[in-house]
Amino acid sequence: MAERIEHDEWQAVAKGWRHWEPVLQSFTWPMSLRMASAAQIGPGDRVLDAGCGIGDPTLQVAVLVGPHGRVLGVDMAEAMIATARERATALGLTHVEFQTADVTTMEPPPESFDIVLGRWSLIYMHDVAATLGRLRRALVPGGRIAISAWAPPETNPWLTIPMAEVARVHPPPPPEAEGPGVFHLSADGALARALIAAGFQTVGQQRVVLSWFVRDPAEFWAIQSDLTGPLAPLLARFTAAEREQVARGVASGIAAFRTGDAYRVPAQAQLAWGRA
């Protein structure tokens, strides 16, 4: 049941991800570059992107591996995959394939990939250890992995401010202790420990600094309400007046991040890597 709920949440926001594609690119490009560097991706590599969404970092990686490489992006939300395929076609990337599948249950052939990526996907999985074990078996000996999570809440006002304002109107149910969710595995070292427990070696972890660039509070709230999976089911039951109340609170909350005629709302993520 939990997997079905998560699938429906991401299906619900897929249209927003398509609409805000350029904004997403400007927000996430540092993570895509750092993951590619940490995994030492190069020409000819075979890459599995586990939880690829609308095709990031799948498409950036496809450029790096070149036409002699292969990249497979997997996501459980069909609507996300549809957009990813359109983007790959528009870029002429014929060595990229996308599949609708659940990373927690799929069984890639053993030793079929050189690299596995998981950008903000493991945090929504109930059994991270089992998933990482399955992904490790899909790697060739010495194959590389790079995974990410969000850093602790206090470093991510781009998300905690909207979540706090939403909670003022309709308090959400309490999260499961140490369960899957947006800030699962956010502590320093948590991703690295998960990789070590799954049998990976030469493991490292570091933080990556990001920034949401928006023109005004209205654009920021439109982006967050369209893109953030966990907020979608909560906002669905809000009245127009309640949504306006939240929007005003969010505008006040991000006021400190105004720089000239725009806003740069800070964010931080965790990146970890290792070898099979």
For residue 237, tell me if it sits in a domain.
no
For residue 164, tell me if it sits in a domain.
no
For residue 242, tell me if it sits in a domain.
no
CA distances from 209 to 35, 40, 79, 129, 155 (A): 13, 20, 29, 26, 9
For residue 171, tell me if it sits in a domain.
no
* pLDDT tens sequence across 230-256: 676 677 788 999 999 999 999 999 999
Q: Which residues of the chain have pLDDT under 70?
A: 1-14, 173-178, 228-230, 232-233
For residue 169, tell me if it sits in a domain.
no
For residue 231, tell me if it sits in a domain.
no
For residue 229, tell me if it sits in a domain.
no
Domain tally for the chain?
1
Domain that holds residue 202: 2-153+177-213+266-275
Query: Which pTM value belongs to this model?
Result: 0.92
Domain CATH code at residue 85? 3.40.50.150
For residue 224, tell me if it sits in a domain.
no
* pLDDT tens sequence across 45-57: 999 999 999 999 9
* pLDDT tens sequence across 166-181: 999 888 766 555 678 8
